[in-house]
A = this chain, B = another copy of it.
Amino acid sequence: MIDFAPLYSRDVACMRYSPIRRMAKLAMQPGIIGFAAGTPSATTFPAEEIRRIAGEILEKDAQGALQYGLTLGFAGLIDALNSFNKTRRGIDCTAEEVCIVSGSQQALDLIGRLFLDPGDVVLIELPSYIGGISAFRNLQAELVGVRQASDGIDIEDLVARIEACRVRGRNPKLLYVIPNFQNPSGITMSVEKRRALLGVAARYQLLIVEDDPYGEVCFDESLMPSLRPIKSMDTEGRVLYLSTFSKILAAGLRVGWIVAPRPVIEKLDLVKQSTDLCGSMLDQRIVAECLRQGVVDRHLPKIREFYRRKCRVMLESLEKAVLPGVQWTRPEGGLFLWITLPARLDSEALLSESIESARVAYVPGHPFYVDDAGRNTLRVAFSKESEDNIRAGIDRLAQVFRRHLE
């Protein structure tokens, strides 16, 4: 067998399996209560309606649904999506400002390839989504972390980080943010901070990559105006907006989207063409029909209620648990919350104890930080388990923590 190691590209030579993936295997043993995976619950997917719609599509226009399509996406989906963008997300854009992608992970990769050369600086929240971190890191970008407060990114710290980069001759190119129910922290950025970010971006010639997978998974409809994307306030074309149907329709239908200025979409067309020619045509048509027939609109209240209840149960269980010195976020949407242990504790070290003695899995927080911090933090997802399991799991997890808090 050949030794492949010397043949890999520089990008790839430095890639490793993340500790999270190793842990994920452990956590898949039977009997484990799973707070680790941040995936949506498959029980929220409108399976019956999707089955009916898939059947209709393959009855009426199988040849279209089974043939290659345009790289930027199926025109019928882009149309349906732009109504959704406008009415639900407050984003008014043309068909030429949209690129359909195979989930927003592909969007992160494509945007990275569009703008990043090795060594380019990306500003990124502390903590942030691991998939975003790895997409940018795999392109050999330099990732500079920016602190978050309970109302989102710390603008002062952001400016200080940018200035520090400039002092050493580097102008950051991208700022990556997840303003709504952030992954992994559950934090939501205030409206004031969203506006302020646009000012900072203009001042320092930054582009904002706004990742919004959870905005519609909001537990209280009255909050929606405060969840308006930064993109909806962007008059300059500085925001590249990404979202996905993974959380509000079905994750296995790989359909996400990018809204960006037309020249960026034209470049994306070129980059994407050589990466996959086009996305799944059947998936795109199913999602288009789900939008057109109101499946998403009808279904959203159920999804919100589903996660709202689970989140409440988890918060109540945490509050009952008596955990001195332990803090957690209180998300108003999304799939998970964030626990901060006293600084001396290491959530990665505690994980094996948690799995073995308490039979509970979570994700250690350290890999979500690009500055090597966060060893005392962890993410617990309430998306997967039943309410009873959430109660039992938090109870058992609290026992593990208490052993180390004393």
Q: How far is the CB of A83 from chain B (nearest CB, A)?
A: 23
**Closest residue to A236 on the B side, CB-wise?**
B2
Count of this chain's copies in the oligomeric assembly: 2
Query: CA separation between A273 and B132, bound complex, in Å?
Result: 11
Chain B residues with Cβ below 8 Å from A167 are: none
Counting chain B CB atoms within 10 Å of each CB, the highest count among A2, A15, A120, A281 belongs to: A2
Q: How far is the CB of A265 from chain B (nearest CB, A)?
A: 11
- Mask of A43-59 contacts with B, CB within 8 angstroms, 1/0: 10101101100110011
The B-contacting residues of A in range 263-284, CB under 8 angstroms, are 263-264, 267, 270-271, 273-283
Query: A102 touching B45 by the CB < 8 A rule?
Result: no
- Mask of A201-228 contacts with B, CB within 8 angstroms, 1/0: 0000001000000000000000000000
The B-contacting residues of A in range 293-343, CB under 8 angstroms, are none
Query: CA separation between A134 and B15, bound complex, in Å?
Result: 24
Known: A66-B251, A280-B282, A282-B283; 13 extra A-B contacts, CB below 8 A, are: A1-B237, A4-B264, A8-B267, A9-B114, A12-B113, A15-B270, A16-B270, A39-B67, A47-B58, A68-B246, A252-B281, A282-B282, A283-B283
Q: Which of A103-111, A186-194, A356-364 contacts B (4 or more CB under 8 A)?
A: A103-111
A232 an interface residue at 8 Å Cβ cutoff? no
Query: B39 touching A63 by the CB < 8 A rule?
Result: no
Query: CA separation between A348 and B264, bound complex, in Å?
Result: 29
Counting chain B CB atoms within 10 Å of each CB, the highest count among A15, A62, A138, A276 belongs to: A276
In the complex, 22 of the A-B residue pairs with CB atoms within 8 angstroms, ordered by the A residue number, are A2-B207, A2-B236, A2-B237, A12-B271, A39-B67, A40-B67, A42-B64, A43-B63, A50-B58, A50-B66, A51-B59, A54-B54, A66-B252, A105-B275, A105-B276, A108-B274, A109-B274, A109-B276, A131-B274, A253-B281, A253-B282, A280-B282
* Count of residues in A whose CB is under 8 Å from the partner chain: 78
Query: CA separation between A130 and B42, bound complex, in Å?
Result: 40
Query: A63 touching B47 by the CB < 8 A rule?
Result: yes
Counting chain B CB atoms within 10 Å of each CB, the highest count among A11, A15, A131, A254 belongs to: A254
A231 an interface residue at 8 Å Cβ cutoff? no
Chain B residues with Cβ below 8 Å from A276 are: 102-103, 105-106, 109, 254
Q: How far is the CB of A293 from chain B (nearest CB, A)?
A: 16
Query: CA separation between A267 and B278, bound complex, in Å?
Result: 24
Q: Please judge, given known A-B contacts A115-B9, A277-B103, whether A267 and B15 are in contact too, CB under 8 Å.
A: yes
Residue ranges of A at the interface with B (Cβ–Cβ < 8 Å): 1-2, 4, 7-12, 15-17, 39-40, 42-43, 45, 47-48, 50-51, 54-55, 58-59, 62-69, 102-103, 105-106, 108-109, 113-117, 120, 131, 134-135, 138, 173, 207, 236-238, 246, 250-254, 261, 263-264, 267, 270-271, 273-283, 286
Q: Please judge, given known A-B contacts A43-B63, A271-B15, whether A280 and B280 are in contact too, CB under 8 Å.
A: yes
**Closest residue to A106 on the B side, CB-wise?**
B276
Query: B252 touching A65 by the CB < 8 A rule?
Result: yes
Chain B residues with Cβ below 8 Å from A43 are: 63
Chain B residues with Cβ below 8 Å from A65 are: 252
Chain B residues with Cβ below 8 Å from A10 are: 117
Query: CA separation between A131 and B278, bound complex, in Å?
Result: 12
Q: How far is the CB of A171 from chain B (nearest CB, A)?
A: 10
Chain B residues with Cβ below 8 Å from A253 are: 66, 280-282
Query: CA separation between A102 and B11, bound complex, in Å?
Result: 22
Query: A68 touching B47 by the CB < 8 A rule?
Result: no
Q: Please judge, given known A-B contacts A47-B66, A63-B42, A237-B2, whether A117 and B271 are in contact too, CB under 8 Å.
A: no
